[in-house]
Chains A and B, each alone.
Chain A
Amino acid sequence: MRTAALVLALAAIARAGDPELTDELYPQYRDHIRPKPSEEGWRSVGWRTSYWAAVQEGNRKGLPILLWTMNGHPLACT
């Protein structure tokens, strides 16, 4: 859980120059950087990772396809 105190502590470290990385600070940085569950709601959609495989699935099931396509794969670096 990110707290205001943590944010301030990290900011203070950042102001002083390159961020320090120690065993004590490690979990705070990790928890700050990793997305929170609320930021990963998009994962629950059940995205197919291939357009053509989705077209074939839609063809079998008689369903339309919803394609989300970006510069960079939407489920990775976009």
Chain B
Amino acid sequence: MRARRYVWAEPEVQELLKKFVPATEEVHTLHRDQGPAGKHFRLVSEKGHYGKNPIDWTRQGIYALAPSGEFLASINSTNGGDVERMLKEALEAWEALPRNKRLLAGKPEEARERWAHLYPEDGMVLRVYTRDLPREKKMKDWREGAWNLDYAWFRKEEMWKFAPGGAVKGVRHEVPEEIVRRLARCHFVDNVRGQTEAFPEEAVEEASLTVTVESVKGDRVTVKYEGTVKIEQRGNWAVDDTGARAQTRGFRGKLLGRGKWSVQGKKFETLEIVSVGTRWGGTRYNFRNGDLEEAPLGYVLTLAGPGPEDRMTPAAIWQYGWGE
């Protein structure tokens, strides 16, 4: 997430990127993919900055390559200047590459994207932003302003549970508990500074969300959301390099928000829910070691847009129970 902030917003870097096709992908899936994408990526990554590491180690980073699979340059850095230099080296290598070595030899094979077919075209997709709330304990580095983003998917029949129960002020219903529990354990996680895992089902102690019709104006019905979540997991796991030991992690918080539903359109025009509460604990890769005590944390859930960048798969999609 530091690269988002410190690398790609740099004007010099953005200018250089115009000379490439800029692509993103999740490295674990790509590195292990047995289809044409994985085979092609490994041609490149094994010549890159982590290429000498054991095959099951991460290959995350930034790679420049020719469509043929010829390696041009690579780096794993969150420093804009370093990446700018790498991009210039890559363009020099591209110019030096004979034209007959730049492109794929034949017609590219077709590849299946692992989760794309599960995207809820007629359902609802929410961006889930996460950030620490202000507190007395200040960080003196990137952690102070850290935030993260995930996506929550809801199928059509699940989206309807967030919709008004009727176009009459005061009508109220509960979003089914299984939907709120999934939201809680998959998305009310502490990923502010880095990746973490979904909570197990048994960690959810409380998960409720009430939908109340607040106003009706023609076709538009405004609903108010109010809810509570409490999640706690206990067990043995590592939060750093020193190995597993007894840990607890969790979040307890309130939810509040509103949505504007189009009766004729049968969809939300707007929907936004804020949750604020208290988190504690950490996991192996969420950079909370040394910051495991209770502290305030917040989430904003808001409708995602229609663009390709908003079709990202939820980090814990396999926990949804939607199959593959």
Interface residues of A (CB under 8 A from B): 7-8, 10-11, 13-15, 18-19, 21-23, 26, 29-30, 32-35, 38-59, 61-78
Q: Among A45, A52, A57, A72, point to the contact of B315 (Cβ < 8 A).
A: A72
**Which residue in A26, A56, A74 is a CB contact (below 8 Å) of B274?**
A26
Which of A41, A54, A64, A68 is B66 in contact with, Cβ under 8 Å? A64
Q: Identify which of residues 22-56 in chain B touch chain A, using a CB-to-CB cut-off of 8 Å.
A: 22-28, 30, 35-37, 40-41, 44
Q: Which of B12-20, B171-179, B232-240 makes up part of the contact surface? A: B12-20
Q: How far is the CA of A17 from the CA of B195 in the complex (A)?
A: 26
Distance from A45 Cβ to chain B, minimum over Cβ atoms (Å): 5
User: A45: which of B14, B62, B103, B195 is its contact (CB, 8 Å)?
Assistant: B14
B3 touching A74 by the CB < 8 A rule? yes
Q: Is the CB of A47 within 8 A of B94?
A: no
A66–B254 touching, CB < 8 Å: no
Contact A73 B21 (CB under 8 A): no
Partner of A64, one of B21, B24, B314: B21
Q: How far is the CB of A68 from chain B (nearest CB, A)?
A: 5
CA distance A33 to B67 in the complex (A): 39
Say yes or no: B133 contacts A14, CB within 8 Å.
yes
Residue of B nearest to A55 (CB): B67
Judge if B8 is at the interface, Cβ distance under 8 Å. yes
Q: Would B23 and A66 count as touching, CB distance under 8 A?
A: yes
Residues of B within 8 A of A38 (CB): 9
Residue of B1, B21, B191 near A65 (CB, 8 A) is: B21
**In the complex the two chains form, is B22's CB within 8 Å of A45's CB?**
yes
Residue of B nearest to A48 (CB): B23
Tell me the count of chain B residues lying within 8 A, CB to CB, of chain A.
89
Interface residues of B, Cβ cutoff 8 Å to A: 1, 3-5, 7-9, 14, 17, 19-28, 30, 35-37, 40-41, 44, 58-67, 72, 87, 90-91, 94, 102-104, 108, 111, 113, 129-131, 133-136, 145, 147-151, 191, 194-195, 252-257, 272, 274-278, 285, 295-296, 298-300, 302, 308-309, 311-315
Is there contact, CB below 8 Å, between A64 and B22?
no
Nearest B residue (CB) for A76: B312
Q: Look across to chain B and name the residue whose beta carbon is closest to the beta carbon of A8.
A: B134
The one of B40, B103, B149 that contacts A76, using a Cβ cutoff of 8 Å:
B149
Asked if A65 and B65 make an inter-chain contact with CB atoms under 8 angstroms apart, the answer reads yes
Whole-angstrom CA separation of A45 from B77 in the bound complex: 18
When distances are taken between beta carbons in the complex, the residues of chain A under 8 Å from B277 are 18-19
List B contacts of A78 (CB < 8 A). 1, 148, 194-195
Closest chain-A Cβ to B271's Cβ sits at a distance in Å of 13
**Contact partner, B147, options A35, A58, A61, Cβ 8 Å:** A35
A65 to B74, CA, bound (A): 12
Contact A30 B25 (CB under 8 A): no
* Across-interface contacts of A56 in B (CB, < 8 A): 67, 108
Nearest A-chain residue to B254, judged by Cβ: A21
- Distance in angstroms from A43 CB to nearest chain B CB is 6
Name 26 A/B residue pairs within 8 A (Cβ), A-sorted. Answer: A10-B134, A11-B134, A13-B296, A18-B253, A34-B300, A34-B302, A39-B4, A42-B5, A45-B22, A47-B22, A47-B24, A51-B30, A52-B36, A54-B21, A55-B104, A55-B108, A56-B108, A58-B20, A58-B21, A63-B20, A64-B20, A66-B20, A69-B61, A73-B24, A74-B24, A76-B312
